[in-house]
Amino acid sequence: MPTLGTTPQLLRAADAAHIAQAVGECLFVPLSSSNPSVSPVSREGAMPNYTYVIVGGGMTAAAAVAGIREVDGDGSIGIIAAEPHPPYDRPPLSKALWKDKPLASIWRKVDGKGVTLHQGRTARAMDLRSKQVTDDQGTAYIFGKLLLATGCTPRRLPFGDDQIIYFRTVDDYERLRGLTEHGDRFAVIGGGFIGSEVAAALAMNGKRVTLIFPDQAIGSRMYPPELATFLNAFYRGKGVEVLPGTSVTGCESRNGKAVLKVRDVATKREREIIADGVVAGIGVQPNVELAQAAQLTVDNGIRVNASLCTNHPDVYAAGDVASIHDPTLNQWRRVEHEDNANSMGGHAGVAMAGRMVSYDHLPFFYSDLFEMGYEAVGEVDSHLEMVVDWKNPCKEGVVYYLRDRRVRGVLLWNVYGLVDGGRRLIASADSFSPSDLKGRLPL
């Protein structure tokens, strides 16, 4: 059995370090000027031919390289990566980098042990009969095994192209950071995962932030109403202007500032918000175009079996883009979180290198909001029945999510070290009533 992903809590820091060591030397084509730790090696002219080709250069790709090397020390690995950077951790972009962490800490060290990184290149077509991928510059890559780790792309609004930062990449982070050097007022569109984190990060850096979203409260698609409502007040207490029940209907540039038109959903009244920078976090969609064009099975993500293989025996998919049947929850799922990228990517690498894999990991996820934070596992969805067990109301406690008296998800609010306990409850065949759950996980 592969060892990757077996201790999810440790993956936040330890897996990155493990992968960093496991991967080793890397040839970069071409060089990113923003990462000083690598040197350029030109391979132009030759038709690249690799035992393993990975499309996408994110966290899943970095984990897959480690997985491959766990089994196969020699097979050549080529990564085709659209971003002009080596793989890096995305979670710090909206958290640690706004506190005390340096930018240098995010890079997943994929140098050593013969990985060639074709960065700044986008794979545009696949021919599965001749086992080739062609990029946007016309280079064709021959593969033995292929991993699609193309992740997700942010949803966009139909206006404000030049003004709105759809926060996903290190370049987005650097652009926003640059704006904060001179700007004071920021607007954040979206009260979900990314919006709530970026609003907190900006406010913690002394910026005046307006948070705009159509729901009634921050994170209301995940949290029970009392917690979501508490968060509106909590953010306001931190100086954030919170505008629930509002949507942005336009964005223009005026005197070097962004001017947003913000409409109250109930009254339809509009007002303008002027900002030095605008960030949007309004959801993402999986990058499935390549798979679709090659007639791989796609249904809210690229479908894979427990070996992380698509319906083509030499093509695998993992991370944000992959949809897998989760045996614990007994449903098809596509998970957009770090533990999933690390664990699924690692297992995909192991599987591609020829070792049997039966992937059944139930990933956890986490977030930080000012000094608050949580870990969560399973289906954390406020449409389910919710049972709250507070040690300190809205400050510390557990929320259980149930369907038909079975636990589907667990939110550990400012409580740590209980993810495995949550997993056991979700895996349990027992029926639970709300009173059974109070105190079930020790607080």
Ligand X SMILES: Cc1cc2nc3c(=O)[nH]c(=O)nc-3n(C[C@H](O)[C@H](O)[C@H](O)COP(=O)(O)OP(=O)(O)OC[C@H]3O[C@@H](n4cnc5c(N)ncnc54)[C@H](O)[C@@H]3O)c2cc1C
Binding site for ligand X (CB under 6 A): 55-61, 80-83, 90-91, 93-94, 122-123, 149-152, 167-168, 194, 287, 290, 319-320, 336-339, 341, 365-367
Positive or negative, the Cα torsion across 133, 134, 139, 140? positive
* Nearest CB to ligand X, comparing residues 348 and 398: 348
Contact yes or no for 399/413 (Cβ under 8 A) = yes
Q: How far is the CB of 169 from ligand X (least distance, A)?
A: 7
Q: How far is the CB of 434 from ligand X (least distance, A)?
A: 28
What is the chain's length?
443
What is the rounded distance in angstroms from the CA atom of residue 12 to the CA atom of residue 348? 19
Q: How far is the CB of 146 from ligand X (least distance, A)?
A: 12
* Nearest CB to ligand X, comparing residues 150 and 323: 150
* Nearest CB to ligand X, comparing residues 369 and 437: 369
Collect all residues with Cβ–Cβ distance below 8 Å to 395 and sequence separation of at least 6: 372, 413, 414
* Nearest CB to ligand X, comparing residues 152 and 228: 152
Cα-to-chain-centroid distance, residue 400: 23
* Nearest CB to ligand X, comparing residues 78 and 183: 78
Q: Which two tokens stand for residue 349?
A: 């690498």
Q: How far is the CB of 436 from ligand X (least distance, A)?
A: 29
Residue 419 one-letter amino acid:
V
* Nearest CB to ligand X, comparing residues 152 and 211: 152
Residue 155 one-letter amino acid:
R
Short-list 169, 164, 66, CA closest to 119: 169
Q: How far is the CB of 318 from ligand X (least distance, A)?
A: 7
Q: How far is the CB of 259 from ligand X (least distance, A)?
A: 25
Positive or negative, the Cα torsion across 73, 79, 84, 90? negative
* Nearest CB to ligand X, comparing residues 366 and 413: 366
* Nearest CB to ligand X, comparing residues 119 and 220: 119
What is the rounded distance in angstroms from the CA atom of residue 333 to the CA atom of residue 320? 10
Q: How far is the CB of 238 from ligand X (least distance, A)?
A: 19
What is the rounded distance in angstroms from the CA atom of residue 415 to the CA atom of residue 295? 44
What is the rounded distance in angstroms from the CA atom of residue 204 to the CA atom of residue 164? 21
Q: How far is the CB of 296 from ligand X (least distance, A)?
A: 14
Positive or negative, the Cα torsion across 72, 78, 82, 86? positive
Short-list 277, 245, 276, 279, CA closest to 262: 245
Q: Is 405 left (phi over 0), alpha (psi -120 to 50) or beta?
A: left
Residue 42 burial class via C-beta count within 10 angstroms: exposed 0-12, middle 13-18, buried 19 and up: exposed
H/E element, 325 = strand 322-326
Name the closest residue to ligand X (Cβ): 151
Q: How far is the CB of 149 from ligand X (least distance, A)?
A: 5
Q: Which two tokens stand for residue 143?
A: 């593969």
Q: How far is the CB of 267 from ligand X (least distance, A)?
A: 33
Q: How far is the CB of 276 from ligand X (least distance, A)?
A: 20
Please give the C-alpha separations between residue 21 and each of 104, 110, 408, in angstroms, as whole numbers: 16, 8, 36
Please give the C-alpha separations between residue 107 and each of 35, 99, 366, in angstroms, as whole numbers: 8, 17, 20
* Nearest CB to ligand X, comparing residues 151 and 244: 151
* Nearest CB to ligand X, comparing residues 82 and 387: 82
* Nearest CB to ligand X, comparing residues 35 and 259: 35
Q: Which residues on neighbouring strands pair with residue 273, listed in sequence order?
A: 260
* Nearest CB to ligand X, comparing residues 111 and 135: 135
Contact yes or no for 149/321 (Cβ under 8 A) = yes
Q: How far is the CB of 271 from ligand X (least distance, A)?
A: 28
Helix axes 338-352, 59-71, angle to 10 degrees: 30
Positive or negative, the Cα torsion across 84, 72, 320, 150? positive
